[in-house]
Amino acid sequence: MIDMELRKAKSSDKNKVLEFCKTTFSWGDYISDVWDDWILEGNLLVLTENDVPVAICHCSINIEQLWIEGIRVNKNLRRRGFAKRLVQESEFIAKNNNCKISQMLIATNNQKSLNLAGSLTYKKDEIWNFYSLLPKKINYKTNVKFATNNKSIIDFILSFTSSYVRSWRWLRLTNTNVKSLIDEKKILYSEHKGTINALAIFTKSDHFKNILMLTLIFGNENGIKEILSYLQNYAAQTNIVRIQILTKLKNLPKINTLEKKLSFYLMKKEIQ
């Protein structure tokens, strides 16, 4: 008889999990990069058969929102409801922590996962485009400025976006964390003749070494070019190897080494 258990992952589960996560996607998988951090953060769930891990999923809670990530099921054991059970358990944890909303990110071409989310009544909330850009030194001054801590700029930022991306998690923006991001000099904009022509938030990835993540909120061609040049230069001087850009904008200007990678649906479900 098979003994099934759904429990919190232990460090000792790592090797067995990484074994079935080697070739998840055509490019491999990122679970090996995040495993240790996810164990420390908690809420890394594992489903076992006779104490052998066969499926995982991580969830985290931020301002009454559940974020679900890293759902992986051993290729030989799919279509048995394992992923569904892990997501439902994550939602259970969220409800116990007064979360109102659950979210996850799914590539627009990942039909299996879209079906999975659909079967659990998640809806496609937004489409985000993912671009990659390499660092580059520049020898001219840009019109890029850091946002300052005043009410009109905070209201302005919040009127354009309700979330930003940190380590591949979409986090809710509130007055309080906009203020913190401003204090940390993470919100920048480009200005032309007194008008803001691009706005973005950047963070250093907590889990992926030397990666800068940029949430590009809006911008015209010139403004975006200014912000990206500024960040390429900043990256070149700070050991960053890649800038990952997430944006709801449909088209970005043509820039050398700027490469469109994928598009994602931000999936959302109300859970209370």
Contact yes or no for 37/205 (Cβ under 8 A): no
x/- map, 115-144, ligand COA, by CB under 6 A: xx--x-------------------------
Q: Which CB, 77 or 158, lies closer to ligand COA?
A: 77
Which residues lie below 8 Å from residue 193, measured CB to CB, with a gap of 6+? none
> Could you say which residues in the range 219-258 bind ligand COA, by CB under 6 A?
none
Residue type at 184? E
Q: Which is nearer to ligand COA, 81 or 253 (CB)?
A: 81
> Where does this chain touch ligand COA (CB under 6 A) — which range of 5-13, 36-44, 79-87, 90-98?
79-87
Residue 258 to residue 16: CA distance in whole angstroms: 36
Which residue of 113, 163, 203, 247 would you call a contact of ligand COA, by CB under 6 A?
113
- Kindly tell me which of 112 and 192 has the beta carbon lying closer to ligand COA: 112
User: Near ligand COA by CB under 6 A, which window of 30-38, 65-73, 185-193, 215-223?
Assistant: 65-73
13: closest CA among 72, 83, 61, 85? 72
In order, the DSSP letters of 119-186 are HTT-EEEEEEEEEEE------S---EEE--S-HHHHHHHHHH-SEEEETTEEEE--HHHHHHHHHTT-
Identify the residue among 14, 80, 204, 207 touching ligand COA (CB under 6 A). 80
| In the complex, minimum distance from the CB of residue 22 to ligand COA, in angstroms, rounded to a whole number | 12
Q: Which is nearer to ligand COA, 119 or 251 (CB)?
A: 119
95: buried, middle or exposed (CB in 10 Å: 19+, 13-18, 0-12)?
middle
Taking phi over 0 as left and psi of -120 to 50 as alpha, with beta for the rest, 182 belongs to alpha
| Distance in Å, CB of 205 to ligand COA, minimum | 18
Binding flag, residue 73, ligand COA (CB under 6 A) = yes
Q: Does 83 bind ligand COA (CB under 6 A)?
A: yes
CA-CA distances (angstroms) from residue 197 to 67, 80, 178, 224?
31, 50, 19, 8
Sign of CA dihedral 99, 59, 129, 166: positive
Residue 81 beta carbon to ligand COA: minimum distance, rounded to whole angstroms: 5
Classify 215 as helix, strand or coil: strand
Q: Which of 134, 131, 132, 135 is nearest to 233 (CA)?
A: 135
24 scored as a contact of ligand COA (CB under 6 A): yes
Please state the closest distance from residue 251 (CB atom) to ligand COA, in A.
25
The torsion angles phi and psi of 138, rounded to 5 degrees, stand at -125, 155
Q: Tell me: does residue 32 bind ligand COA (CB under 6 A).
A: no
Residues 186 and 147: their CA atoms lie apart, in Å, by 8
Q: Is 82 in the site for ligand COA (CB under 6 A)?
A: yes
Work out which of 54, 66, 71, 217 binds ligand COA, going by CB under 6 A.
71
Q: How far is the CB of 111 from ligand COA (least distance, A)?
A: 6
Binding interface with ligand COA (CB under 6 A): 24, 71-73, 78-84, 106, 110, 112-113, 115-116, 119
